[in-house]
Structure 1
Amino acid sequence: MGQDSASNQHSGIGVLDKAVAVLQTVADEPCGLAELCSRTGLPRATAHRLAAGLEAHRLLRRTPDGRWRPGSALAELAGAATDPLLDAASTVLPKLRDATGESVQLYRRDGKQRVCVATAEPPSGLRDTVPVGARLPMSAGSGAKVLAAWTDPQTQRSLLADAVYGERTLLEVRRRGWAQSVAEREPGVASVSAPVRDSTGAVVAAVSISGPTDRIGRKPGVRWATDLLAAAEDLTQHL
């Protein structure tokens, strides 16, 4: 391997050491195939085969400009050890559920999908159940709007191409600090969502309240935005 390889440790299993070198190189700085070859010293075919394989397992993901970045599975694996956001969610989400009586979810974006990483469900009654690990499209729903509203311009354009909402909607979401939807993701379901930020101010997740439209109403933001924004701020403070 080249001198720029991210690790000098070797297990004696050649393909594993090379795959780890690819992961560590991309973790240091996202890169395309030419950069990956240059920085790892791997042949082009080998680097591409390993990166594509890691992408298939969601350990890497590819951006629209063709560069590889760390994938969502890395966060999930790391989260099994420690994840401050999930630790905070275990306390904050049940409080929000109890205050509203509705289903509460926490979403992270993974490419053109959003992944439910935590939930708190009411013990009984009609509810909008989204299981942990569920992957929903970024094309509809209040959680999708929040996560799309604070992405970089290139990613946002890519998401808007398939979305039921438009650029004006995302401008409004950024202005007021929350998003709502009625029967966008699923008939009969309404929701309201707000951004969760890390210590740098970057939006890293969306916290949502959802439930049957007949109960939650066609303007869920008017009803629940204050409680939701307080919960989002609580989650942010933990980060």
Structure 2
Amino acid sequence: MENTSGVGVLDKLSLILGALESGPNSLAGLVAATGLARPTAHRLAVALERHRLVARDLEGRFVLGPRLGELSAAAGEDGLLAAAGGVLTRLRDVTGESAQLYRRQGEARICVAAAERLSGLRDTVPVGVTLPMQVGSAAQILLAWEEPERLHRGLRGARFTATALSGVRRRGWAQSVGEREPQVASVSAPVRGPANRVVAAVTVSGPIERLTRHPGAHFAQPVVEAAARLSKALACLPPGGATG
């Protein structure tokens, strides 16, 4: 076992988490990826699940759990989150709607920062909440630039199509109307990190009666500009200064 710490159980736990970094894995997949005995891999994966460091997707496969996102959000050195507060607040003030920042974690997405509309009817998404990758404009953004195999796997059961994601890549933003909640619309744009990789999605969301059934026509520009500011903030960080 490479990069051992001398604490055997921690090394094995690290192997399991590392095997899940690229996406969901069955128990057999964990065994193959880690070289651990099947009973050991199962026992440790279930223990990690109990502590919410590992979760299960709809097919029962192991995925990275929500606790990792919560720990990341609490880390002071997270450059993306350090910049997100001001950018989301400005986006909320410009659009008059709630703004969120999402990251992908396994087969789900997590709201890691938000600026809620101050009054009136609004779409409230609590920080730390886990949402599916099959619905919503943020899910489209987090999936659209994935490698082909992972992209097509992510389209299973999705409310959007490969053609829709092709349009997202072409114009640089996504919209959804009634996908996650019947009366909610949203617009999202990609935040890019090292090597131009999409690391997060900036979103504006609110009731359809205000955003309309063509929310991109009204909100795409400020959302894209907010995402660009966060991407620029990441580019200015020293190596190792951004996570995600």
Q: Is the 2:103–2:111 Cα contact (8 Å) retained in structure 1?
A: yes
- 67 and 9 in structure 1: CA distance in 2 versus 1, 3 angstrom threshold: farther
CA deviations over 1:94-128 (Å, ceiling 9, x no partner): 00000111010111122332211111012111111
Q: CA deviation at 1:53?
A: 2.5
> Which residue of 2 is the match for residue 36 of structure 1?
34
> Which residue of 1 is the match for residue 67 of structure 2?
73
Larger radius of gyration: 1
Q: CA deviation at 1:215?
A: 1.2
- Choose which of 140, 152, 170 in structure 2 pairs with 1:145: 140
Listed as ranges, the matches of 1:3-82 within 5 Å are 4-10=1-7, 17-18=8-9, 20-26=10-16, 32-37=30-35, 43-60=37-54, 71-82=65-76
- Choose which of 80, 86, 96 in structure 2 pairs with 1:85: 80
> Which residue of 2 is the match for residue 223 of structure 1?
218
Give the counterpart letter for 1:235 in structure 2: L
Taking structure 2 as the reference length, the TM-score comes to: 0.81
Please give the alpha-carbon distance, in whole angstroms, between the structure 2 residues aligned to 1:77 and 1:130.
Answer: 18
For structure 2, list consecutive stretches of 5 or more residues without a partner in the other structure: 21-28, 235-244
Q: Is the 1:191–1:211 Cα contact (8 Å) retained in structure 2?
A: yes
Would you say 1:213 and 2:208 are equivalent positions?
yes
Listed as ranges, the matches of 1:86-125 within 5 Å are 86-125=81-120
Please give the alpha-carbon distance, in whole angstroms, between the structure 2 residues aligned to 1:141 and 1:9.
Answer: 44
Q: Is the 1:182–1:213 Cα contact (8 Å) retained in structure 2?
A: yes
> Which residue of 2 is the match for residue 191 of structure 1?
186
Q: Is the 2:66–2:110 Cα contact (8 Å) retained in structure 1?
A: no
- Choose which of 175, 184, 200 in structure 1 pairs with 2:195: 200
Q: Is the 1:6–1:25 Cα contact (8 Å) retained in structure 2?
A: no
Q: CA deviation at 1:207?
A: 0.6
Give the counterpart letter for 1:7 in structure 2: T
RMSD: 2.7
CA deviations over 1:39-95 (Å, ceiling 9, x no partner): xxx5442233213422454434689xx997765533432432222111111110000
Q: CA deviation at 1:203?
A: 0.8
> Which residue of 2 is the match for residue 165 of structure 1?
160
Taking structure 1 as the reference length, the TM-score comes to: 0.82
Please give the alpha-carbon distance, in whole angstroms, between the structure 2 residues aligned to 1:68 and 1:137.
Answer: 15
- 58 and 201 in structure 1: CA distance in 2 versus 1, 3 angstrom threshold: farther
> Secondary structure in 2 aligned to 1:32?
helix
> Secondary structure in 2 aligned to 1:156?
helix
> Secondary structure in 2 aligned to 1:181?
strand
Would you say 1:235 and 2:230 are equivalent positions?
yes
Q: CA deviation at 1:24?
A: 3.0
May I ask how many residue pairs the two structures share in their alignment? 224
Q: Is the 1:192–1:225 Cα contact (8 Å) retained in structure 2?
A: yes
Q: Is the 1:7–1:24 Cα contact (8 Å) retained in structure 2?
A: no
